[in-house]
Amino acid sequence: MGIDPNFRTSRQVTGDHSGHKVYAPADPPPVPKEKALGIHGTIVGVDFDLCLADGSCITACPVNVFQWYDTPGHPASEKKADPINEQACIFCMACVNVCPVAAIDVKPP
């Protein structure tokens, strides 16, 4: 199972992080509720609760959309690929295609 492709309409915005929206975690989340981080980004959404931090999206992205973000104590991984530069996305889908857990969804604004 990967990222919820309807998260932009099916989940509440719960905050803002580094200039992008954060959407509520899944109910029930794939990790314990107290550790759930939700989905970061709108154009390029990364489900932080699925992300395993293998770095393939960071390597594949030709326009440097992602940056590592530390998430100490998270059961899936202690860092995440944060879409801090999602406005630069050229919609090549390289990140989506290489993510081993389908934690990324890209949609033009």
Residues comprising the binding site for [3Fe-4S] cluster? 51, 57, 99
Binding residues for Zn(2+): 17, 20, 40, 82
Binding residues for [4Fe-4S] cluster: 61, 89, 92, 95
d(CA 97, CA 21): 23
Binding residues: 17, 20, 40, 51, 57, 61, 82, 89, 92, 95, 99
d(CA 109, CA 103): 19
